[in-house]
Amino acid sequence: MKKVKSIKQALNHRPGHKGVSKQNDPYITSIDNLLHSEEASKTLKGTNNQPHSENILTTSEEEENHQKMSISNPPKNKWRVIAVLLWVTSWGMSDGAPGALLPHMESYYDINYIKVSLIWIFNAIGYFAYAAFAHDLKQIISPRAMYSVCSLLQLVMFSFIVPGSKFALVVAGFFFGGIGNAMGDSQQNLFLSRFDKSSLYLGYFHGGFGIGATVSPLIATAMVNAGCRWSFFFFILVGFSIFNFLNLWFSFEGCETDLKPWEKDDFDETFKEDPDISQISIPLNPLGQKVLFN
């Protein structure tokens, strides 16, 4: 501050300064602005150092830590995580088996590879169908149902496949399976992402899918080699789906209440807090222009 004032005095006595008003002198104006900014900074710093402000900050941090969702908060989360991991393992099994069973499906229905690939096309259409109506479904279906109905849709898929009837019914089954997989994948990922150690539990989640996708081709191939019809493998997944539905339904009982602090719509909340956020323009760096990092 003293150095800035000395500079101001020197500028006032510099040659050629006489006759120039303070308001018209750009140097004096800049120095005055600097003095005011330093005084404001000191005032703000003194206010922030008050003990009362520190107490408020500490209390806020304690409340934030208390609100973090963990494996034991709410208490049912441990059961829910186990139920979610079992569900994603069965999903991995349903995704991994068709590749190993494909030659047997072609010979069973006497179709070529192009026609049998319809199972994946309609499975993908099921994903798109859920994505198109996901936000509307959340307004109609309860959170508890959103977490568990995915298993019922998978049950529809496996029930269509097991009898080994017309190929069109199998294709329709994969469509319903796509909807169920998309619903379960989005809901379970969203649930695990709100944990305080979200990366750990999401790692378990995707690892469970990998385990299911690894073991299912081995089981399916062993069953076919033992003389079983290719579609009988899906009997295992029928039982798995029934178990998963009951497990998810009862584990997420009361989730409307105990998960409510974390069950907010982040997209809607963002626009509610700042309705003009859509007007923000982000300047893009022209191609070829160098970017310097200080």
Instruction: Output the 3-class SS for 191-224.
Output: HHHCECCHHHHHHHHHHHHHHHHHHHHHHHHHHH
Q: How many CB atoms lie within 10 A of CB 157?
A: 27
Q: Two tokens at 247?
A: 């497990």
CA distance 256 to 138: 12
Tens of pLDDT, residue by residue over 179-213, are: 999 999 999 999 999 999 899 999 999 999 999 99
pLDDT band at 40 (very low <50, low <70, confident <90, very high): very low
pLDDT reported for residue 7: 53
Q: Which has more pLDDT, 151 or 260?
A: 151
Q: State the DSSP string of 153-197.
A: HHHHHHHHHTT---HHHHHHHHHHHHHHHHHHHHHHHHHHHTBTT
Question: Is there a contact between 137 and 146 (Cβ–Cβ < 8 Å)?
Answer: yes
Task: Report the mean per-residue pLDDT for the chain.
Answer: 79
Q: What is the largest CA-CA distance in the chain?
A: 108
Q: Which residues pair with 70 in a beta bridge?
A: 73
Q: Which residue blocks in the chain are alpha helix, DSSP H?
A: 2-12, 26-48, 51-66, 77-109, 113-116, 118-140, 143-161, 167-193, 198-225, 234-251, 255-258, 266-273
CA distance 153 to 126: 11
pLDDT reported for residue 43: 47
Mean pLDDT of 212-227: 96
Tens of pLDDT, residue by residue over 22-39, are: 555 555 565 566 555 555
